[in-house]
Amino acid sequence: MPIGTSVRERILSALVVAMNAGAEKPGPAYRTRVEAFASTELPAYVVFAMESTPDRKGPKTTYHELMVRLECLMAGEAPMDAALDPMLVYAVQAMFAACEALGSVKGLQEAQIQWEVEPAYENVAIATADFRVTFATVFNDPTTEK
């Protein structure tokens, strides 16, 4: 049996594509990023899965609650929470539009947003926004939408 791409990974990829598609995007979005950003690479977004909770419903369907973290990073001056706001607005709009376009997503909900500033040579701020994405698959095949 060939290995396919899971519904989870297709959703995450679609979120990043949607965030990179806008002409007015504040910065590029990455699926993951392990190396630190230089201040010249900011603003930027990082999207990744935090956890997934499966819940089998009926004989052939599993519903999943996928926690997705969005990191918005930028360099600049205080007040950084206000400076990050346009990035969050753009990202939330792009993520909701992407999920509406995907037939596999049953729901998207903002769970929480946190702001943090890292004072250094240049102030770098990050807003982390957590989202709950609900989708369904065939109980024994994570690549098949239900």
Within 13 A of 89's CA, how many CA atoms are on the CB side? 8
In a domain, 122, yes or no: yes
Domain that holds residue 95: 7-57+65-145
Residues 52-102: tens digit of each pLDDT? 999 988 889 999 999 999 999 998 777 778 889 999 999 999 999 999 888
The whole model's pTM is what? Answer: 0.87
Band of the pLDDT at 141, cuts 50, 70, 90? confident
113: CATH: 3.30.70.1700
The pLDDT score that the predictor gives to residue 1 is 45
- pLDDT category, 121, cuts 50, 70, 90? low
Say if 127 falls within a structural domain: yes
For residue 1, being part of any structural domain is answered with no
Q: Is 132 inside any structural domain?
A: yes
Residue 113 lies in a domain: yes
Is residue 85, in this structure, part of any structural domain at all?
yes
pLDDT at 45: 97
Contact indicator for 122, 94 with CB cutoff of 8 Å: no
Amino acid 9: pLDDT: 93
Q: Indicate the number of domains in the chain.
A: 1
Give the tens place of pLDDT for each residue, 21-53.
988 899 999 998 888 888 889 999 999 999 999
| Partners of 53 in beta bridges | 65
Residue 2 falls inside a structural domain = no
d(CA 47, CA 127): 12
